[in-house]
Amino acid sequence: MNGADILCETLLANGIDTCFANPGTSEMHFVAALDRQPRMRCVLGLFEGVVTGAADGYARMADKPAATLLHLGPGLANGLANLHNARRARTPMINVVGDHATGHLIHDAPLTSDIDSLARPMSHWVGRAETAQTVGAECEAAIRAARSGAGGIATLILHADAAWTETPFVQPIPVSLPELAGPDAALVARAAAALRNGRQTTLLISGHALRDRQLDLLDRIAQKAGARLLAQQANGRMQRGAGRVALDRVPYVIDQALACFATTEQLILIGAKAPVGFFAYPGKSGSMLPPSCEVIELASPDHDLTAIINALADAVGTAPAARLAARHRPDLPTGKLTPDAIAIALAGAMPDNAIICDESVTSGRDFFRSTYGAAPHDFLQLTGGAIGMGIPLATGAAVACPDRKVIGLQADGSGMYTVQGLWTQARERLDVLTIIFANRRYQILHGELLNVGAGPAGETARRMLDLEDPALDWVMMARSMGVEAARAESAEGFRDVLHSALARKGPFLIEAVI
């Protein structure tokens, strides 16, 4: 056994059996070790942003980390934007980043770089395995870091000689994980008092509080207290649809977000952060809360949210039943294809337990309104604002949940960042339907140009915000990567393609020209 084998054994002993990878020469012994491990599923991504984004989607749905395999500093750097999104989602992940053999570093060979400095800002934990003897302990430390609290990004730098050197084998045992912090009695009492004092109160929630059972109890608390229940603007995973609590999110658009909290006197945070503007806008507040609003942080994302919600229910009492969304299929509009028509068609046709991966940017803003009564589904979002996550996220979610339909809501500009994720969907025969919102522009930035007071777009600005010359052909792109595809240009056309796409298994793409 060599260090690379020990690494595989340690991952497997801890239930980590999926590795999203894009390897190079320095990782060849790890590749060989993976090759000797039939229990480890290895998935090739053709760009590191696909690898890290897929590991994010996988862990959000599997509730356990995947490993990634990345090639030195440049490979890691290519994957950083989606590591940033995963870090914001508090996704657990273990990145194995190869480095040169320790004795080779003095030569400053072309691929040598400061991997630690590249890794640190997007990682909760960074470690180095310099010898085969320390690989096991370093891997265990990485797993512990990834699985502590809500979850973390652990980056383990593996030197080539630590991977290839023979070392005695001791069967690893699962690492012990620290317990989540439970309720703080004084804070629960303070939140309960706030919920009884008659002032306008919002319970702002995220993380595991957005799972079905927790939402149910939270809604019963909110009803009892006359408080509003609301989700953070961006969340890793949310369970919604018919038979579940119909929950709204804080709007993205700054004026709407400010209006949403204009009369809020007290805010109780459960796994969420106090709302702020996505960006600064001249003359507008950065905080979305009125200055006098009192904020009570009842639970950080790292707490045991279930235990804290239970404690709050005991302290405040609950209404007998939660208000659950009824099954509702809105009437499909005809004629022009719009984002709303797409949401309505999905509300009618989405199968039970679908997984929606949303990177629809401006086109998805009204998706919730039409889909409260859709079949129950999980909703996964862009959490860190770094676009290019949608196709990889859907890819990883489909690896985690092979029996569920994954539906990607994908803006075209964002989709182009990691379009090669479609190839992985074809290679792995993943059951993913990608819907491209082909507005052929960076629509959001047209609005932001005005919102920040930079004035209307001239010719140069327009050329930096429009994608129509030449127009992208998504059907040809998808087919070139082995994914069947069709184009829809009317509401009726979209509905028909959607029905046939949902009736089949395997990857499919619809270019929805809106």
For CA atoms 11, 13, 18, 24, the dihedral sign is: positive
CB of 81 to ligand TPP, least distance (A): 5
Query: Which CB atom, from 413 or from 507, has the smaller least distance to ligand TPP?
Result: 413
Specify the residue, 346 or 387, whose C-beta has the smaller distance to ligand TPP: 387
The CB-of-416 to ligand TPP minimum distance in angstroms stands at 8
Closest CA to 333 of 376, 355, 366: 366
Which helix (H) or strand (E) is 425 found in, with range? helix 421-427
Residue 322, φ and ψ in degrees, nearest 5: -75, 155
CB 230 within 8 A of CB 250: yes
Closer CB to ligand TPP, 41 or 441, in the complex: 441
Closest approach of Cβ 256 to ligand TPP, in Å? 16
Report the nearest approach of ligand TPP to the CB of residue 446 (Å).
8
Give the integer Cα–Cα distance in Å for 134 and 94: 17
Q: How far, in Å, CA of 171 to CA of 344, rounded? A: 53
Structure tokens at 353: 């337990």
Exposure string (b/e) for 301-321, b if CB count within 10 Å is 16 or more?
Answer: bbbbbbebbbbbbebbebeee
Task: Using the minimum distance from each CB to ligand TPP, give the nearer residue, 7 or 80.
Answer: 80
Distance CA 370, CA 347 (A): 7
C-alpha distances in Å from residue 466, one per residue of 15, 281, 443, 463: 45, 23, 8, 5
Q: What angle do CA 117, 121, 125 make, to 5 degrees?
A: 85
What's the closest the beta carbon of residue 25 comes to ligand TPP, in angstroms?
28
Number of Cβ within a 10 Å radius of residue 443: 20
Query: Closest separation between CB of residue 477 and ligand TPP, Å?
Result: 15
User: Based on CB atoms, which residue is closest to ligand TPP, 355 or 386?
Assistant: 386
Nearest approach, Cβ of residue 385 and ligand TPP (Å): 5
- Residue 232 or 414 having the CB closest to ligand TPP: 414
Number of C-beta neighbours around residue 187 at 10 A: 18
The 10 Å Cβ neighbour count of residue 24 is 15
Q: Rounded distance, CA 164 to CA 436, Å? A: 44
Residue closer to ligand TPP, measured from CB, 296 or 416: 416
Shortest gap between Cβ of 377 and ligand TPP (angstroms)? Answer: 21
Binding site for ligand TPP (CB under 6 A): 81, 361-363, 385-388, 411-414, 439, 441-445
Residue that has been written with the tokens 């957005």 in this structure? 210
Beta-sheet strands, E only, within 232-343 = 238-240, 266-270, 294-299
Output 329 or 446, the one with its CB closest to ligand TPP. 446
CA distance 341 to 373: 15
Q: CB-wise, 195 or 509, nearer to ligand TPP?
A: 509
**Least distance from ligand TPP to the Cβ atom of residue 479, Å:** 21
If the CB atoms of residues 264 and 439 are measured against ligand TPP, the closer one turns out to be: 439
Of the CA atoms within 13 Å of residue 142, those in its CB half-sphere come to 31
Give the residue at shortest CB distance from ligand TPP.
413
* Strand (E) or helix (H) holding 97: strand 93-99
Q: In the structure encoding, which two tokens stand for residue 362, read together?
A: 């401006």
What SS3 class is residue 304? coil
Q: Smallest distance, Å, CB 195 to ligand TPP?
A: 37
CB closer to ligand TPP, 164 vs 252: 252
Minimum CB distance to ligand TPP smaller for 348 or for 413: 413
| Cβ neighbours, 10 Å, residue 461 | 15
Beta carbon of residue 98, minimum distance to ligand TPP (angstroms, whole number): 25
Q: In whole angstroms, how close is the CB of 461 to ligand TPP at the nearest point? A: 13
